[in-house]
Chains A and B, each alone.
Chain A
Amino acid sequence: MTQMTGARMVVEALKEQGVDTVFGYPGGAVLPIYDEIFQQNEIRHILVRHEQGAVHAAEGYARSTGKPGVVLVTSGPGATNAVTGLTDALMDSIPIVCLTGQVPTFMIGSDAFQEADTVGITRPCTKMNWLVKETDTLSGTIHEAFHIATSGRPGPVLIDIPKDVQFATGAYSNKPKVSKSHYQPRVKGDPEIITALVEAMETAERPIFYTGGGVINSGPAANQLLRELVEATGFPITSTLMGLGSYPANGDKWLGMLGMHGLYEANLAMHGCDLMINIGARFDDRITGRIADFSPNSRKAHIDIDPSSINKVIHADFPIVGDVGHVLEDLLRIWKSRGRKTNSAAVKQWWAQIEEWKKTRCLDYKPSEATIKPQYALERLEALTKNHDRYICTEVGQHQMWAAQFLGFNDPNRWMTSGGLGTMGYGTPASIGVQIAHPGALVINVAGEASWLMNMQEMGTAVQYRLPVKQFILNNERLGMVRQWQELLHGERYSHSWSEALPDFVKLAEAFGAKGIMVSDPKDLDDAIMEMLNYDGPVIFDCLVEKHENCFPMIPSGKAHNEMLLGEAETQGAIQAGGAVLV
């Protein structure tokens, strides 16, 4: 075993794990590691402007590549600033390895400068965390951390490294060829239950696939198998926000996103189906609406690598614990070996019903020649960028839902959004992480002005590393989703849901050294978008949109899938007291 300092070990272990990029911010307790980073060229360090940005950038990197994202921050405030990002990654199952500096072991517990109980604070927001007290165990812990972050249901892990452990010399252990960790989640599904599901698929009259982020996390093979399964069976497919792109939006079995702001046909198909096949989704409350009335007449299959997801919210008739890729492979093989049967006559009728629902044209909106409708802005963005090698990030709010509705994703790993935690300020740093991983691609952050301001300091990072990220801000001078809920739920009392002192985004862009574009007239929109696309550098695109547009369709809180609101006319008294207490 080679002897080296703890700081050196960190760099060596990261290299051995195949890490090429670290997002971080230096400080007193990580200086030895930064000194090692300075003396090598294999790992690129991206200096962010705030530790929350480091984690979101690493999430963008991870979600767009399938590789774990790595974060390096200092003790105390460095670690506490990372907490939101770690929680976000935990909720959305993103593999992150976060390294934090800590005060030296002999000062722990003394309220030292920049000391915080990092493992205590981050215990609930990581999949696993460690405080390393001996240099000899450091490299082994880092290898174990990568194993845990990336296997089973992925998630963030954190290693807290006191400064004296970084300086001290110890024995480096190499990455084990086969993980010796006792943490080895089951990937193969139970063949009996898979066979039972195949039998149900053969006779189902109104089947539907309901897929989620688990398909994307499972990897490219799982996405291929899903496409093969959908095409071979001819069953309709809908997806959660996190799962967009695993089945192509231009595929003819695609119903669009489901859920609170999902498409009418997708939600009604979920409500009316007789066999629901949940693949890597978790029956989130944005999806189910009122539990008691969730898809009342269906048998439900649930494929999930996390056993605790199954039967957590919705009872599964076919509970299948396993990796989506492995389970789909077995499912397809068994279905084929039994003669590729479906109840095609009934499924054809089912499709006829779905086509009826599609005629509602639930995404239609009232066009305007005077103001840019946010939906129109996204339609034009889609039209002008869909043939690019394109990655989309979002912030959180109305713009996020419109982006999910109006932009089409034909491939996985192209859509980075904060689903579970709903973190405003996610998109800007995430777009930076994506652009770092895909230097030649078009990376757009669809944002609202309020969310965007939450991590706008990261424009400095974009300019420093010459990252041509496009910040596409739908500016309604409102916290649009909050405003929408206040209109529907709180008697149009718009308590603190607008900003009176927004910056001039064009000047702001110039102050950062980026390009600013402002557009307010629908006639100028296409030219402005083209100007944004043609500029080789970061752009802040300030798109002034209709201020009071609401996002529809909408399943109000506490309602079922078949109680959707489709437009303004239906909103009066739509949400009752029972729904108002929900979020």
Chain B
Amino acid sequence: MSPLNIEQGSSSHSAYDLRSHMSDVVEVHTLAILVENEPGVLARVIGLFSGRGYNIESLTVAEVDHTGRRSRITIVTSGTPQVIHQIKMQLERMVPVHEVADLTVEGPHVSRELALIKVFAKGESRVESLRIAEIFRANVVDSTLESFIFEMTGTPEKIDAFADLMRPLGEVRMARTGVAAMARGL
């Protein structure tokens, strides 16, 4: 992007974006998009991704400013650096979009997801599921004699790891919110 002749390397966490433009390495990026909360805005953003063949790995949306009627859409997407850059530019030029932040490029950020995980288990497996839940700091929010519903928040990886441990203990059903993310610091 710069006319300066800086040699291009591969560092997604540098203060400068020095990644090769034409690299074909697929990267996963988290985008935080502040939009006007108006009818159809989510369809518009999703339509951009489907229409231009970009990936959506996770998506969350909710109004974050009730007086200003702004919503934050958090999208986890994947693509080559050129595609990720293009996604950001295409989002930024949409009329109802106020701000697009590529959290992955801009620095350290916090990503969290909430999941409800129902585990059907009896006997020793049922006890074991409670023990693992304690380790993962998951809360029990519903219980029958044959099932628990655990509530947990964490990175998507943590939720995956929890669900993987639960599966040998019994049938697992899951509802996830998708990632919400925010840059660290000021």
Q: Do A and B come from the same complex?
A: yes
Q: Which residues of A contact B (CB under 8 A)?
A: 119-120, 123-124, 127-129, 131, 148, 152-153, 182-183, 192-193, 196-197, 306-308, 310-312, 315, 317-319
Does B167 lie at the interface of the complex (its beta carbon under 8 Å from any beta carbon of A)?
A: no
Q: Are B39 and A318 in contact (CB under 8 A)?
A: no
Given known contacts A123-B43, A315-B21, A318-B3, A183 and B90 CB-to-CB distance under 8 angstroms: no
Q: Are A182 and B98 in contact (CB under 8 A)?
A: yes
Measured CA separation A318–B1 after assembly (Å): 8
Q: For B91, give the chain A residue with the smallest CB separation.
A: A308
Measured CA separation A197–B85 after assembly (Å): 23
Q: Are B92 and A307 in contact (CB under 8 A)?
A: yes
Q: Are B3 and A317 in contact (CB under 8 A)?
A: yes
Q: Are A307 and B39 in contact (CB under 8 A)?
A: no
Would you list the 8 A-B pairs with minimal beta carbon distance, nearest first?
A308-B89, A128-B95, A196-B3, A308-B90, A307-B89, A315-B21, A183-B95, A308-B93
Q: Which residues of B contact A148 (CB under 8 A)?
A: 95
CB distance from B35 to the nearest CB of A (A): 11
Q: Which residues of B contact A183 (CB under 8 A)?
A: 95
CB distance from B95 to the nearest CB of A (A): 4
Among residues 39 to 61 in chain B, which have CB atoms less than 8 Å away from a CB atom of chain A? 39-40, 43-44, 47, 51
CB distance from B22 to the nearest CB of A (A): 7
Q: Which residues of A contact B21 (CB under 8 A)?
A: 311, 315
Q: Are B44 and A311 in contact (CB under 8 A)?
A: no
CB distance from B46 to the nearest CB of A (A): 10
Q: Are B85 and A311 in contact (CB under 8 A)?
A: yes
Q: For B44, give the chain A residue with the smallest CB separation.
A: A123
Q: Which residues of B contact A (CB under 8 A)?
A: 1, 3, 21-22, 36, 39-40, 43-44, 47, 51, 82, 85-86, 89-90, 92-93, 95-96, 98
CB distance from B58 to the nearest CB of A (A): 23
Q: Are B86 and A120 in contact (CB under 8 A)?
A: no
Q: Which residues of A contact B98 (CB under 8 A)?
A: 182
Q: Are B40 and A119 in contact (CB under 8 A)?
A: yes
Q: For B1, give the chain A residue with the smallest CB separation.
A: A319
Measured CA separation A75–B1 after assembly (Å): 45
CB distance from A124 to the nearest CB of B (A): 5
CB distance from A344 to the nearest CB of B (A): 24
Q: Are A127 and B95 in contact (CB under 8 A)?
A: yes
Q: For A195, give the chain B residue with the smallest CB separation.
A: B3
CB distance from A438 to the nearest CB of B (A): 32
Known pairs A123-B40, A123-B43, A308-B92; list 10 more (Cβ under 8 Å): A127-B95, A128-B95, A306-B93, A308-B86, A308-B90, A308-B93, A310-B89, A311-B85, A311-B89, A317-B3
CB distance from B13 to the nearest CB of A (A): 21
Given known contacts A182-B98, A317-B3, A311 and B40 CB-to-CB distance under 8 angstroms: no
Q: List 28 A-B contacts (CB under 8 A).
A: A123-B40, A123-B43, A123-B44, A124-B47, A128-B96, A131-B39, A131-B40, A148-B95, A182-B36, A182-B98, A183-B95, A196-B3, A197-B3, A307-B89, A307-B92, A308-B86, A308-B89, A308-B90, A308-B92, A310-B89, A311-B1, A311-B21, A311-B82, A311-B86, A311-B89, A315-B21, A318-B3, A319-B1
Q: Are B40 and A307 in contact (CB under 8 A)?
A: no
Q: Are B47 and A123 in contact (CB under 8 A)?
A: yes
Q: Which residues of B contact A196 (CB under 8 A)?
A: 3
Q: Which of B3, B51, B85, B96 has most chain A Cβ within 10 Å?
A: B3
CB distance from B10 to the nearest CB of A (A): 16
CB distance from A310 to the nearest CB of B (A): 8
Q: For B95, give the chain A residue with the smallest CB separation.
A: A128
Q: Which residues of B contact A318 (CB under 8 A)?
A: 3
Measured CA separation A124–B51 after assembly (Å): 8
Q: Which residues of B contact A124 (CB under 8 A)?
A: 47, 51
Q: Which residues of A contact B85 (CB under 8 A)?
A: 311
Q: Are A315 and B95 in contact (CB under 8 A)?
A: no
Q: For B4, give the chain A residue with the smallest CB separation.
A: A196
Q: Which residues of B contact A306 (CB under 8 A)?
A: 93
Measured CA separation A319–B21 after assembly (Å): 13
Q: For A182, give the chain B residue with the smallest CB separation.
A: B98
Measured CA separation A182–B94 after assembly (Å): 11
Q: Are B3 and A307 in contact (CB under 8 A)?
A: no
Q: For A119, give the chain B residue with the smallest CB separation.
A: B40
CB distance from B181 to the nearest CB of A (A): 23
CB distance from A488 to the nearest CB of B (A): 29
Q: Are B40 and A315 in contact (CB under 8 A)?
A: no
Measured CA separation A196–B4 after assembly (Å): 9
Q: Which of B3, B43, B82, B95 contacts A120 (CB 8 A)?
A: B43
Q: For B51, give the chain A residue with the smallest CB separation.
A: A124
Measured CA separation A283–B86 after assembly (Å): 15
Q: Which residues of A contact B96 (CB under 8 A)?
A: 128
Q: Which of B39, B43, B93, B95 has most chain A Cβ within 10 Å?
A: B95
Q: Which residues of B contact A127 (CB under 8 A)?
A: 95
Measured CA separation A152–B97 after assembly (Å): 15
Q: For B93, give the chain A residue with the smallest CB separation.
A: A308
Measured CA separation A140–B52 after assembly (Å): 31
Q: For A309, give the chain B residue with the smallest CB separation.
A: B89
Q: Which residues of B contact A128 (CB under 8 A)?
A: 95-96
CB distance from B77 to the nearest CB of A (A): 15
Q: Which residues of B contact A192 (CB under 8 A)?
A: 3
Q: For A183, give the chain B residue with the smallest CB separation.
A: B95
Q: Which residues of B contact A129 (CB under 8 A)?
A: 40
Measured CA separation A312–B52 after assembly (Å): 12
Measured CA separation A271–B179 after assembly (Å): 46
Measured CA separation A541–B3 after assembly (Å): 53
Measured CA separation A182–B68 after assembly (Å): 13
Measured CA separation A310–B95 after assembly (Å): 18
Q: Which of A131, A182, A312, A319 contacts B86 (CB 8 A)?
A: A312
Measured CA separation A238–B86 after assembly (Å): 27
Q: For A148, give the chain B residue with the smallest CB separation.
A: B95
Q: For A190, give the chain B residue with the smallest CB separation.
A: B3
Q: For B87, give the chain A residue with the smallest CB separation.
A: A308
Q: Are B86 and A307 in contact (CB under 8 A)?
A: no
Q: For A127, give the chain B residue with the smallest CB separation.
A: B95
Q: Which residues of A contact B43 (CB under 8 A)?
A: 120, 123
Q: Which of A127, A153, A307 has most chain B Cβ within 10 Å?
A: A307
